[in-house]
Chains A and B, each alone.
Chain A
Amino acid sequence: MRVWKFGNDIDTDAIIPGRFLTIYDPAELAKHAFEGTRDEFARDVREGDVVVGGTNFGCGSSREHAPLALLGAGVRVVVARSFARIFYRNAVNTGLLPLVAAGADSIPDGAAVSVDIAGGFVEVDGRRLVVETVPGFLKEIVDAGGLVAYAKNLDEVKTCSTE
């Protein structure tokens, strides 16, 4: 499993361009992931590979096609110094794990990588990097395997005005 390293401010237009938004199937979206930005990604990405970004990963559009394209490509984890808000939430909801790592910049492209979520670290070329797991209430969604699985078993929710 290898690292696909990207820079700062990787936007959702880069992850999946607007002209592919009538596609909803993750496997089909994956064929166009990073098209025009990094064409070899869709061709060479393998199951379990990890995408690594700098700051503000996933900024821009609210399109959930972005995490779906990565999931379709076999990516289960994105590590970045920071994430844009909507992408972060979309990733958690769809079962793509966003991990914040202060040391993300030091991870080189193409490095061998493994992720230990329970241990709270990623191992890159044999070196351990500490990652922050998702906070509080979002963890319940991650543990359920995404928001669909979480919400399936709910008949109603208590809002802050009724609790």
Chain B
Amino acid sequence: MAATIAEKIFSMKCGRSVRAGDVVMAPLDAAMIHDITGPLAVRVFGEMGGERVFDPERIIMLFDHQVPADSIPAAENHVFMRQFAEEQGIHNYDLLEGVCHQVVMEKGRAAPGEIIVGTDSHTCTYGAAGAFATGIGSTDMGFVLKFGALYFRVPESILLEVDGVFDRRVGAKDLILSLAGDIGADGATYMTLEFTGKAMERMNMAGRMTCANMAIEMGAKAGIVRPDAATWEYVAARREIEPFDLAGDDDAVYRERRHYDVTDLAPQVAVPHNVDNVVDVADVAGTKVDQVFIGSCTNGRYEDLAEAGEVMGSADRFAKGVRVIVIPASRTEYLKALRAGLIERFVEAGALVEAPCCGPCMGGAFGLLAPGEVSLSTSNRNFRGRQGSAQASVYLSSPATAMASALYGEITDPREV
């Protein structure tokens, strides 16, 4: 029977055919917990009578939201989680490796056909590896730690067929922002976004992660990029795995099929205070910015930093009065950027390069905004108060647009730099 990718994944796990709308208790391949939502999950696990976790090898623990600890309570959370990891025999990446979603991907902890949960809404990022991955709350995670399974309603899917070739300095972030604008902040609630088409096939894994990452910004439960040779190559470089075919069937039942062509897509900007409030960069060009943040699980990979570096060209100073914060998404990505000379160029021009973490996107650790300040950020949310004061404004863009704007001190079309 014809099926979507999400239906195929749940059917594989259940060993029988399940369809959208079915409610199943699905076994899980992996569960990710971090320093903010993890402590609550661990407490709930105890309240549920949990003694030993279902399988320590399937649990991924790391700290990324408040690292190095920015307060005594944050430090206490780290200690609490370290103790739990030790007691349970869970491998803890601690604060050494970087932002959770980047780390899960680059360590090969996600693969096509897997079902993965994490106590972070952007867990959907692993859909770039062909996994069904979704964010859950801490109480659900307490249940997962105990039983290794969770109730799911198998979701309907929206098929997104993306074709065309991006203009120079336009890419994955512009695509996903435009999709958020088109579909809306709740246009895919409870559903899976299934990405396919020639533009997706041409997109590198970094870009696919950017797209899958922001599926949640349309309310989606998961965002899955149809696995192809590039997916298998990425995963097989990180763990032993035999490729298999995992594609939605042509005659599968989709809630909706949408076709997009990126050929004429302009750089996109999400304007305050909703992610689906998206315009062409020309509509907001000239808006003064106080802070530019290049990083996060959405856009903190080497490819993103290289894109910013390309736009920077031979410029050696950022605009006066602009704070530029660059945070590579992981230690691995940091080293790649360092060895390519990008970090040196950013620092020489006046950037603050921070150790891998969520940074200003966490809205609590550092890089906060004062009332009236404006930030342009390559992260995924521009909610009121997301990066500090509720009277501040956050705009979202690609790394290319962020760098162009850092050079001029105002929102700038990267194609005009």
Contacts and interface: CB of A to CB of B under 8 A. Distances in A.
A5 interface: no
Contact of B136 (A20, A37, A86): A86
Given A17-B385, A36-B384, A161-B13, A90 B137 contact: yes
Interface in B11-46: 13-16, 18, 23-27, 36-37, 39-40, 43-44
Contacts of B18: 160
Interface of A: 9, 11, 13-14, 17-24, 36-37, 55-56, 59-65, 82, 84-86, 89-90, 93-94, 136-137, 146-148, 151-152, 154, 156-161, 163
B120 interface: yes
A22 B73 contact: yes
B189 A62 contact: no
Q: Which of B73, B137, B142, B186 counts the most A-chain CB atoms under 10 A from its CB?
A: B137
B137 A62 contact: yes
Contacts of A146: 139
Interface stretch (B144-152, B316-324, B333-341): B144-152
Contact of B390 (A37, A84, A154, A157): A37
A107 to B, nearest CB: 19
23 contacts: A9-B186, A11-B381, A13-B385, A17-B363, A18-B364, A19-B364, A56-B185, A59-B186, A61-B120, A62-B123, A62-B135, A63-B137, A64-B40, A84-B219, A85-B189, A86-B121, A93-B139, A94-B137, A152-B48, A156-B147, A158-B25, A160-B16, A161-B13
Nearest to B391: A36
Given A22-B71, A136-B23, A156-B147, A14 B383 contact: yes
Contacts of B48: 147-148, 151-152
Contact of A85 (B10, B27, B221, B391): B221
A146 B14 CA distance: 26
Contact of B185 (A9, A13, A17, A19): A9
Given A36-B385, A85-B219, A18 B137 contact: no
Contacts of A136: 23
A13 B219 contact: no
Interface residues of B, number: 61
A157 B65 CA distance: 32
Nearest to A95: B139
B82 interface: no
A60 B65 contact: no
Contact of A89 (B140, B368, B386): B140
A64 B43 CA distance: 13
Nearest to A17: B385
Given A37-B385, A59-B185, A82-B189, 19 more contacts: A14-B383, A22-B66, A55-B186, A56-B185, A60-B383, A62-B119, A64-B40, A84-B186, A84-B189, A85-B221, A86-B137, A89-B137, A93-B140, A137-B151, A147-B44, A148-B48, A148-B142, A151-B143, A160-B16
B36 A147 contact: no
A21 B74 CA distance: 9
A133 to B, nearest CB: 16
